[in-house]
Chain A
């Protein structure tokens, strides 16, 4: 397994555990997570306000 790009020990442990459970290679899991982390979502002003209210819930 190539874990060079995973620097946080906690992240590495979590990925190894998920890999054992799912049978998916650690590097594939890491790639999916990184892709998901970089996705932008576009909102109109109204959609953005709704997104903020939903995101914060009772903390709004």
Chain B
């Protein structure tokens, strides 16, 4: 069967991706948005980008943490200092778990690196579990 060029590039129909939020997400996003105008728009851009193509990186700094206790979580920069922390798993639909938006300092990934803070916040992330 012949398909047009446009059709062959289309993503599968239906909710291929679902987003999951936890109270930590709601809390951190509310806090950060108060001092960072435009953050809401950035979050929606992230949502639209991942909905269109979940595997494509959002911006140039959408990468998983590779070391330490934060290993396994993805982060993408929304501003110079703020990163959106998420994890992606399952299929049909793919679930994108959103943990929150945090500064380098809060994550312990600034200079100097704070391993204790990384351990503490990763524990907080892992305690957010699906009921």
Q: In the complex, identify which listed stretch (B19-27, B56-64, B66-74, B104-112) lies at the interface while the others stay far away.
A: B19-27
Map CB proximity to A onto B1-42 as digits: 1 under 8 Å, 0 otherwise.
Answer: 000000000000001011111111010011001100101110
Residue from A37, A38, A43, A53 within 8 A of B21 (CB atoms):
A43
* A49, chain B: closest CB distance, angstroms: 5
Q: How many residues of chain A are within 8 Å of chain B by beta carbon? A: 20
Query: Per DSSP, are chain A's interface residues mostly helix, strand or loop, or mixed?
Result: helix
Is A51 positioned at the interface, with any CB of B under 8 Å from its CB? yes
Residue from A35, A43, A44, A49 within 8 A of B44 (CB atoms):
A49
* A42, chain B: closest CB distance, angstroms: 5
Q: Are B18 and A38 in contact (CB under 8 A)?
A: no
Within 8 A of B (CB), among A8-60: 35-45, 48-49, 51-53, 55-56, 59-60
Mark B residues whose CB is within 8 Å of A: 15, 17-24, 26, 29-30, 33-34, 37, 39-41, 43-44, 47-48, 51, 95, 97, 127-131
Mark A residues whose CB is within 8 Å of B: 35-45, 48-49, 51-53, 55-56, 59-60
